[in-house]
Amino acid sequence: MNSEPRPRFTDEEKRNFYAAAAKRFKAELKLYGATAAIHIENKNDEMFWRQVLQHAYPMGRFRFIASSRNIGGNITSGCTQCLQYRDFLDPHFWIAIDSDYRYLTEEADIDANHYILQTYTYSFENHYCYAANLNRAVREVCDGSLPFDFTAFLTDYSRIIYPLFVWQLYLQGVDPEAFPKSVFHRLLSLPVGARATFRNGAPVLQVLKERTSKMVSHFRRQYPEADPTWYEARCNALGVNRSNAYLFVRGHQLYDLIVMLGHKICQEYRQRQHDPQDGESKKGGGLPNFERVMTSELCFGEYDEIRNIISDAHIALGLK
């Protein structure tokens, strides 16, 4: 076993290391014939950012970097690794990250003027879960019919989760250990049982309501003098409200829930149509997969958060 102490690096060594890596990324652009190199959080993010940038600048070619070496020599991904490069960004090298709560807490210098793109929603997955996009996917898989209305479902989901969401933001600033993000995320992992699609998802929403009501009651008792209304007003000013809060909770949990519901909705539709087997229509042609359809497009121009990203891309590209 190697008992040698872990090497420590000075701030100057770290800065020089990441400056050299950024310089190399920029120098390699000519080899790729690319407009800009963009360090993203990981490989899963590439499809989203590629769709966004192709929409913002169809003539552009972009090189995506999903991971890079940290100063210790290990291949590393994630937001922290992206932000190591924040002092070395320019028109040829950007980073693109999930907002998490950075947008809502208005973290300084996370903006296109500093060549940092962000999702404005919690993560890129929330954009695929935009309600109109999901209804489009259902119609495409279900021969034009809409057996489940995701707009209504996600509006109800948002109204249920919103009070607890405000408490989460409030306690992050007052007492972070009282309501860790990990606890909030577990509350959002919802079961999709046999009757999940009944009455437009009422059983799923009931579980969510029971969980959130219990937590909100607990925090009201624990912090009787607390006033989260300032955070609510701040959220409203940033575009978060009781109808769209689903865009700002952790996208991974929401995405998993939506995909499970979507597959179940489409499977039940096919069964009602007496399909010979799942995935085939009565005419014998293959029906598309719900998840593949929901991620095939984004609803550009239809809501503020996606419009903000396109605007940021234009700023970074020097088009504004």
- In the chain, what are the domain boundaries? 11-123, 131-297
Mean pLDDT of 281-299: 77
301 pLDDT more than 90:
yes
Matching residue, tokens 């190399």: 24
Q: What is the pLDDT of residues 243-267, one digit of tens each?
A: 999 999 999 999 999 999 999 999 9
> What local confidence, expressed as pLDDT, does residue 299 receive?
98
> What local confidence, expressed as pLDDT, does residue 286 receive?
52
> What local confidence, expressed as pLDDT, does residue 213 receive?
97
HEC sequence for 234-272: HHHHCCCCCCCHHHCCCHHHHHHHHHHHHHHHHHHHHHH
The dihedral through the CA atoms of 154, 160, 163, 164 has a sign that is negative
Mean pLDDT of 180-190: 94
- Pick from 151, 184, 145: which is nearest to 258 by CA? 151
Q: What is the DSSP letter of 176?
A: G
- Pick from 75, 71, 62: which is nearest to 115 by CA? 62
> What local confidence, expressed as pLDDT, does residue 282 receive?
44
Least confident of 39-43, 72-76, 127-131, 267-271: 267-271
> What local confidence, expressed as pLDDT, does residue 6 receive?
62
Which residues, other chains included, contact 185 with Cβ-Cβ below 8 Å and sequence gap of 6+? 250, 252, 253
Mean pLDDT of 144-148: 96
287 pLDDT more than 80:
no
> What local confidence, expressed as pLDDT, does residue 85 receive?
98
pLDDT band of residue 312 (cuts 50, 70, 90) is: very high
Mean pLDDT of 177-186: 93
- Pick from 100, 128, 102, 112: which is nearest to 36 by CA? 112
> CB–CB of 131/154 below 8 Å?
yes
Check residues 8 and 10 and name the one with the higher pLDDT. 10
DSSP 51-100: HHHHHH-TT--EEEE--EE-TTS-EE-SHHHHHTTGGG-BTTEEEEE--T
> What local confidence, expressed as pLDDT, does residue 231 receive?
87
CB neighbours of residue 173 within 10 Å? 10
Cα separations in angstroms, 115 against 28, 94, 196, 215: 18, 5, 43, 39
Whole-number average pLDDT of the chain? 93
Mean pLDDT of 108-113: 96
280 pLDDT more than 50:
no
pLDDT band of residue 4 (cuts 50, 70, 90) is: low
> What local confidence, expressed as pLDDT, does residue 285 receive?
44
Q: What is the pLDDT of residues 216-249, one digit of tens each?
A: 999 999 999 988 888 899 899 999 999 999 999 9
Which residues, other chains included, contact 229 with Cβ-Cβ below 8 Å and sequence gap of 6+? none
pLDDT band of residue 173 (cuts 50, 70, 90) is: confident
Q: What's the CA gap between 276 and 268, in Å, rounded?
A: 13
Cα separations in angstroms, 147 against 200, 281, 286, 288: 8, 16, 19, 16
> CB–CB of 108/87 below 8 Å?
no
300 pLDDT more than 70:
yes
User: 201 — alpha (psi -120 to 50), left (phi > 0) or beta?
Assistant: left
Mean pLDDT of 38-55: 98
Matching residue, tokens 């600033």: 173
The percentage of the chain sitting over the pLDDT mark of 70, rounded to a whole number, equals 93
